[in-house]
Amino acid sequence: MKLGNLGTSRGKEIGWIVLFVGPGLLLALGIKFYPLFRGLYDSLFFFEGGWKPVYVGLDNFHRMFLDKTVQQTFFNALKVMLTIPVWVLFPLVLAFLIFQETAGWRVFRAVFFLPYVIAPIIVGQIFREILGLQGPLNAFLGLVGLKLMTTAWLANTFTAIWAMVAVVLWSFSGLGIITYLAGFATISDDIFDAAAIDGAGFLTKIFRIILPMTVPVIGYWTVLCTGGMLLWMFPFIHALTEGGPGHATMLPEYLVYITSFRFFERGYGTTIGVALFFVVLTFTFFQVRFMYEAGAPRQKQKGGAA
Amino acid sequence: MMKTNRIAIIVISIALIAIIGGTSFAADQKKVTIKVLNWAQGGQEYWDKTAEAFSRENPSIQVEYESVPFERYYEKEGTYLASRSGPDVMANNLGFELWERAGAYKDISKRLTPKIKRSLYDYTGCALAFDEKLGILGIAPSYQGNLMYYNRELFTNAGLDPNAPPADWDTFGKYAVKVKASGKAMLAMGTGHTIAYWFFPEIAKNFWKSSEDIQQFMRGQIPWSDPRMRKVLDFMAWMADQGWYQEGAATTTMLPDAGDVFIRGDTAMIYGIASDVFNWKTWGDAMGHQNIGVMKWPMIDPKAPFAGKFSGVGGFSVGIAAWTKNEEAAWKYVEWMASEENANLFLKLAGGQPNNKNFDKSIITNSPSFTKIQSIISNNMPHTGVMLSGRELDAISRGYEQIILKQITVDDWAKTMQDALNDSDLKKPTAAIWNH
């Protein structure tokens, strides 16, 4: 494009595009891509004592693959990801209940969203007290005759990780509900009216109308949840358990933090971070591809109808 | 003639104004701002006063603090270390935490005069491997170390003499029986990094035979399978079995809750330190200074050479960043932080134990604990808690939580400690610290 063309309408159009897209693109490059490539670079070095780093090639990766603690954290991540169906369906059901405008639905909508606006670290500290051995949860269980179920929820090797997931689910569900409600709003009321005439019940509406017609929204929320489980649990881990007892609730992102900033092994911590990036990338790739393939036939149908 | 005089007066006036203005301008130009990174240890009021007091004595230097909550401190500091830019002065805890960051600090060993060294309880804590020949990375304004505090009223209620706290673990056990009979737990416990810093050294000191033992431990030359180290872990595990801790003690994040447990009066004793937090000021302000007693940790073997000593080290260091462009101004600040004036401020406002011995003892008159601490700290030894690497610190804390919960055995714990030692780059003979 010659400079002389800038005066043309095409040139002006390009100028406006650059003006509006440019800052965002620069921000993305600076905040997302630069750290990514810098991380890849740093993972090839050994950092010691703040002195000049030493190039070690793939030694950090070799060490990581043999590191039992790293293996455990990724195994824990896998356990957490097994709960994805709950993360997807729980807010969906709540959102549909609100969508049906049952009594008090506006209040419920606000109340369900409230946990999301509380800072995660505060949520973690609150639940640390609630889930404590002498906390309100155990007190309640004792009161209703379930004393046998009382335990130190965050200190029990088996329950700690599930308790933590439950806390995070409580915190994030509000966002899922709002996301689903936005998706439901795109479904024509005529369809629900027709279903009501045909005598469709609650479950039928969910499985025959809601789920099929909100696949893209479900897909989007699933991708968000996957990323969240692998990348957004840090404040909860830090407030609730610091990865304990032992490493029972340690996830890769928290291990990156303690390796880099407590053990001060920057190169090795970055290596674990790089591994986490590729795991998240892999999951996200297949999920987005599934969403695309699931959405493609619907797009073709719409194109045919037009 | 008069016209000439008037012109001369005007010209001279203008010249004088130009000279004075130029001098002021030059003076303003020479004014330096140094940035200090810390975690506001002791409270923001203390740090604000230090900036005022320092600038009064050094009008050409302005101090700007960047105070970051301790939980985020390493993350923030890490970004500055990675970019090798940022503050002119930084703070760190002593021992491996400081040594791991040695390349980020200037060596100030040549600046430390004998007078400065004599005025401090400890200056070698800021030296690499406690050896000033390897370089000194900063000065510690505070002095720190491990103590036990107790509730005098609860001792009395249990039928114990509050003026005779237990000096050994056998007596401690007998006291615990009486405290338990009075309806209280003996010792407030919260697992976390305090296991490494406040607990481990007080048990380990009973098993060191000489200073060489301690040196070898620092250099990673004593494996965790060694009988000396194994005895430490065994004893800590034995303590967990005695029923001395409050219920729910074993969670990694329990530390602040342990303080609440002691303040509430649910336990008769708590372990703590001399400065910063969990110290005589924390408990005294909350429970009444006359109600708080302090003692050294009990001994296992009173005949052991280090058993009765106070594990002491500088509380935190302030050092000059390796990349600073204001080295002289930064040094003036660091030097002032070790002064008597700062020591008085630190004691008065932060309630910490100053590292400068010449502080004004009349500042604190209402705390019998503080007075007693002055005699305790005079018989001191190197603090071996700060000789644990970052990995060992993490492993010992996590492991003790699981020991209390009976999730692992001492054999398992010793193994994880050895794995942590094996993975600790700074404790390898090839580490830059030992070859610097």
Identify the H or E element spanning A93: helix A84-99
- In contact, B37 and B90? CB cutoff 8 Å: yes
- In contact, A221 and A95? CB cutoff 8 Å: no
Asked, for residue A266, whether it belongs to a domain, the answer is yes
Q: How many CB atoms lie within 10 A of CB A52?
A: 10
Identify the H or E element spanning B317: strand B317-320
CATH of the domain at A265: 1.10.3720.10
- What predicted TM-score, i.e. pTM, was given to this entire model? 0.84
Q: Tell me which amino acid residue B381 is.
A: M
Q: How many CB atoms lie within 10 A of CB B353?
A: 27
How far apart, in whole angstroms, are the C-alpha atoms of residue B151 and residue B291?
6
> Burial level of B378, CB count in 10 A (0-12/13-18/19+)?
exposed
pLDDT at B251: 65
How far apart, in whole angstroms, are the C-alpha atoms of residue B79 and residue B185?
43
How far apart, in whole angstroms, are the C-alpha atoms of residue B112 and residue B116?
6
Any B CB within 8 A of A239 CB:
yes
Name the CA dihedral angle for A31, A33, A36, A38, rounded to a multiple of 10 degrees: -90
Question: How many separate domains does chain A show?
Answer: 1
The SS3 of residue B267 is strand
How far apart, in whole angstroms, are the C-alpha atoms of residue B32 and residue B84?
20
Q: Which has the closest alpha carbon to B328: B61, B80, B146?
A: B61
- pLDDT tier at A306, thresholds 50, 70, 90: very low
CA distance A94 to chain B (A): 33
Looking at per-residue pLDDT, the higher value among A152 and B328 belongs to: B328
CA distance B401 to chain A (A): 7
Q: Tell me which amino acid residue B274 is.
A: A
Domains along chain B with CATH numbers: 33-143+314-375 (3.40.190.10), 145-312+382-427 (3.40.190.10)
Mutate to test the interface with B, among A48, A236, A241 (most CBs of B within 10 A): A48
pLDDT reading at A256 higher than 70:
yes
Smallest CA–CA distance from A128 into chain B, residue: B253
Q: Which has the closest alpha carbon to B267: B199, B194, B202, B183?
A: B183
Nearest to B247 among A50, A133, A260 (CB): A133
Please state the ipTM of this predicted complex: 0.82
Phi, psi of B240 (to 5 degrees): -65, -25
Contacts of residue B293, Cβ cutoff 8 Å, sequence gap at least 6: B149, B150, B151, B152, B155, B162, B163, B165, B368, B369
Asked, for residue A67, whether it belongs to a domain, the answer is yes
pLDDT at B89: 97
pLDDT at B219: 92
What Rg do the C-alpha atoms of chain B give, in angstroms?
25
Q: Which domain range does residue A247 map to?
A: 43-305
CA distance B119 to chain A (A): 29
Q: If you ran DSSP here, which 8-state letter would residue B431 be given?
A: S
Asked, for residue A167, whether it belongs to a domain, the answer is yes
- Mean pLDDT confidence for B234-238: 97
Backbone conformation region of residue B43, classed left if phi is above 0, alpha if psi is from -120 to 50, else beta: left
**Contact A155/B247, CB-based, under 8 Å?**
no
Distances (CA, A) of A219 to A191, A194, A289, A290: 22, 26, 10, 8
Q: Which has the closest alpha carbon to A117: A161, A173, A162?
A: A173
Average pLDDT score over chain A: 88
- pLDDT tier at B202, thresholds 50, 70, 90: very high
Asked, for residue A21, whether it belongs to a domain, the answer is no
- pLDDT tier at A257, thresholds 50, 70, 90: very high
- In contact, B315 and B352? CB cutoff 8 Å: yes
How far apart, in whole angstroms, are the C-alpha atoms of residue A97 and residue A203?
11
The SS3 of residue B148 is strand
**By mean pLDDT, which of A109-118, A295-304, B83-92, B333-342 is the weakest?**
A295-304
Taking only the tens place, the pLDDT of each residue in A226-239 is 999 999 999 999 99
Q: Return the residue matching tokens 């610290």.
A: B433
Asked, for residue A140, whether it belongs to a domain, the answer is yes
Backbone conformation region of residue A275, classed left if phi is above 0, alpha if psi is from -120 to 50, else beta: alpha
Q: Which has the closest alpha carbon to B75: B45, B51, B39, B103?
A: B39
Provide the pairing of β-strand B61-67 with B32-38.
parallel
**Contact A242/B253, CB-based, under 8 Å?**
yes
Looking at per-residue pLDDT, the higher value among A299 and B8 belongs to: B8
Asked, for residue A160, whether it belongs to a domain, the answer is yes
Asked, for residue A10, whether it belongs to a domain, the answer is no
Asked, for residue A62, whether it belongs to a domain, the answer is yes
B interface residues, A as partner, C-beta within 8 Å? 71, 74-75, 78, 81-82, 99-105, 192, 247-248, 250-253, 257, 322, 389-391, 393-394, 398-399, 401-402, 405, 407-408, 425-426, 431-433
Average pLDDT score over chain B: 90
How far apart, in whole angstroms, are the C-alpha atoms of residue B400 and residue B397?
5
**Contact A157/B407, CB-based, under 8 Å?**
yes
Measured in whole angstroms, how far is the alpha carbon of residue A236 from the centre of its chain?
13
- pLDDT tier at B392, thresholds 50, 70, 90: very high
- In contact, B342 and B58? CB cutoff 8 Å: no
pLDDT at B27: 47
Q: If you ran DSSP here, which 8-state letter would residue B248 be given?
A: T
pLDDT at B287: 96
Distances (CA, A) of B97 to B220, B253, B358, B393: 15, 20, 28, 10
Longest dimension (CA), chain B: 106
